[in-house]
């Protein structure tokens, strides 16, 4: 079946009466009973790529006994950003579980339409790159203190968990001015359980009854209450910083419809839910990609050394790191966090000649082009120079969507890019690192979200800047 790469990137018709019924959408062959569950669980990115190649831009998969429609490829990424795509898709079903768990009415990624626009507007500034403005030196300090806690020379360091701790500390500093050190482990445990059970639904609900989870959740609530009380007091005193939490608390005072009391805890602690696993997985994968190639490692180290030789760091300094930012972009291309975005159809619509029926559950495989040689020559090669002009391979239509597409695309993208570049730069500035063996091949996991396996460990060979320890 031809894909839209060979045809114009627009649905042939939007008239359902002229389109083929959903019953004719090809079902991907699978094994009896389990359907495609195992293949998809093992490597969802490779699975969707195979299906796209074999079945085209629309197909059905059977996972955990349920059939879902998949729209995939560059055309699906472009569709997400069209007026029709925006109107046709909603995300509530996939996110309401988290809101319910917190006793909240909603969570931003489960709200659509006008209300969603208002919530994004409220939080846009606080989640942006500018949120770090004037705090780059603090960010370096916090990153160093996270490093001091776990990165011991001569040891083997499990990377994903070490970076998870680092991200919690960095986010805490940006949101509240200090790392929530007493809460780090609870935040990490509670968030990972929530992602596993309620967001990606790869673990049973019984895990929410586990006393360890309940304790961790209660502690996250406690942190949320403290953040709310602190920021309310600072607002009263006129000393509240210009940041996300202040914006949320102020909205709660001024506009209870948009930010009711019962949504506060989830909203102020939400950045940990959104940022923890995503950024940690990507940074860990990036470290692997860099270490796999000694030449790239040397280039990253040289760039990091130049960065920290500057007297004071600013936004532009972080933006202008072609090798480090290229490495982060390669990590997001090759190990995308959101292999597919999950949506439901608001009404019958036509996609590539098929009727997608109202209320059907959809995967939107926007990451499929990441692995296509039509866009990325030698797609499996970690090539940090792809993103520089004149190559700029990611700028081809629909080719690159690590932060998703459409109305729910990552609101924290700017912040995430700063945290990731800073973490990579600092770690490679400070240490000589190595993979377990030069021929080591990264093992991956899929729960709660895709990324390097938890037992991926690097060797810390030595401090390059002992004075900084």
Residues that bind ligand HEM (CB under 6 A): 91, 108-109, 120, 127, 171, 271, 274-275, 278-279, 282, 332, 337-338, 341, 402-404, 408-412, 415-416
The C-alpha atoms of residue 326 and residue 322 are separated, in whole angstroms, by: 6
DSSP element (H, E) containing 192: helix 184-194
DSSP string, 82-134: SHHHHHHEE-HHHHHHHHHHTT-S--GGG--HHHHHHHHHHHHTTTSGGGGTT
Query: What is the closest distance, in whole angstroms, from the C-beta atom of residue 400 to ligand HEM in the complex?
Result: 12
Structure token digits, residue 450: 């895709």
Between residues 103 and 113, which has the closer beta carbon with respect to ligand HEM? 113
CB of 201 to ligand HEM, least distance (A): 14
Query: Smaller CB distance to ligand HEM: residue 71 or 416?
Result: 416
Q: What does the alpha-carbon distance between residue 100 and residue 198 come to, in Å, rounded to a whole number? A: 10
- Closer residue to ligand HEM, CB minimum distance, 339 or 457: 339
Shortest Cβ distance from residue 425 to ligand HEM (Å)?
16
Cα(50)–Cα(197) distance, integer angstroms: 27
Q: What is the closest distance, in whole angstroms, from the C-beta atom of residue 42 to ligand HEM in the complex?
A: 21
Task: Report CA Rg, the chain.
Answer: 22
Report which residue's Cβ sits closest to ligand HEM: 412
Query: How would you class 144 by CB atoms within 10 Å of its CB: exposed for 0-12, middle for 13-18, buried for 19 or more?
Result: middle
Cβ 412 to ligand HEM, closest distance in Å?
2
Q: How far is the CB of 417 from ligand HEM (least distance, A)?
A: 8
**Which one, 118 or 292, has the nearer CB to ligand HEM?**
118
95 vs 98: CA distance, rounded Å: 6
Nearer to ligand HEM, 55 or 277 (CB): 277
286 is in an annotated binding site: no
Quick one: 132 or 274, whose CB is closer to ligand HEM? Answer: 274
Kindly tell me the burial class for residue 409, based on how many C-beta atoms sit within 10 Å of its own C-beta (0-12, 13-18, 19 or more). middle
List, as residue ranges, the binding site: 410
List, as residue ranges, the binding site for heme: 410
């Amino acid at each position: 079946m031809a894909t839209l790469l060979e045809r114009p990137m627009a649905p042939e018709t939007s008239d359902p009466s002229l389109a083929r019924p959903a019953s004719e959408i090809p079902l991907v062959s699978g094994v009896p009973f389990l359907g495609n569950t195992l293949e998809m669980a093992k490597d969802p990115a490779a699975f969707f790529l195979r299906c796209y190649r074999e079945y085209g831009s629309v197909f059905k998969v059977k996972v955990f006994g349920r059939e879902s429609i998949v729209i995939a490829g560059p055309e699906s990424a472009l569709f997400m950003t069209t007026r029709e795509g925006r109107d046709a898709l909603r995300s509530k079903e996939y996110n309401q579980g988290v809101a319910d768990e917190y006793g909240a009415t909603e969570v931003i990624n489960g709200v659509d339409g006008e209300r969603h626009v208002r919530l994004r507007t409220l939080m846009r500034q606080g989640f942006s790159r500018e949120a770090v403005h004037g705090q780059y030196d603090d960010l370096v300090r916090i990153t160093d203190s996270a490093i001091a806690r776990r990165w011991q020379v001569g040891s083997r360091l499990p990377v994903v968990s070490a970076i998870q701790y680092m991200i919690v500390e960095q986010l805490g500093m940006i949101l509240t001015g200090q790392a929530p050190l007493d809460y780090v482990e609870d935040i990490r445990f509670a968030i990972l359980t929530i992602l596993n059970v309620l967001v990606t639904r790869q673990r049973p609900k019984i895990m929410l009854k586990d006393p360890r989870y309940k304790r961790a959740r209660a502690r996250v609530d406690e942190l949320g209450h403290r953040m709310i009380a602190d920021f309310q007091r600072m607002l009263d005193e006129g000393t509240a910083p210009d940041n996300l939490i202040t914006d949320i608390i102020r909205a709660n005072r001024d506009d209870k419809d948009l930010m009711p009391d019962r949504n506060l805890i989830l909203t102020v602690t939400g950045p940990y839910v959104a940022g923890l696993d995503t950024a940690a997985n990507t940074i860990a994968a990036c470290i692997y990609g860099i270490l796999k190639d000694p030449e790239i490692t040397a280039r990253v180290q040289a760039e990091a050394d130049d960065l920290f030789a500057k007297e004071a760091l600013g936004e532009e300094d972080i933006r202008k790191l072609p090798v480090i930012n290229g490495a982060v972009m390669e990590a997001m291309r090759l190990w995308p966090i959101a292999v597919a975005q999950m949506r439901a159809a608001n009404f019958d619509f036509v996609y590539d000649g098929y009727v997608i029926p109202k209320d059907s559950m959809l995967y939107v495989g926007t990451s499929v082009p990441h692995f296509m040689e039509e866009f990325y020559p030698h797609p499996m090669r970690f090539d940090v120079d792809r993103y520089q002009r004149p190559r700029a391979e990611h700028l081809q239509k629909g080719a690159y969507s690590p932060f998703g597409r459409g109305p729910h695309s990552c609101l924290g993208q700017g912040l995430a890019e700063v945290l990731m570049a800073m973490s990579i730069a600092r770690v490679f500035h400070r240490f000589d690192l190595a993979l377990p063996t030069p021929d080591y091949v990264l093992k991956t996991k899929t729960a709660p979200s895709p990324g390097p396996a938890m037992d991926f460990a690097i060797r810390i060979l030595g401090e390059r800047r002992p004075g900084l320890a």
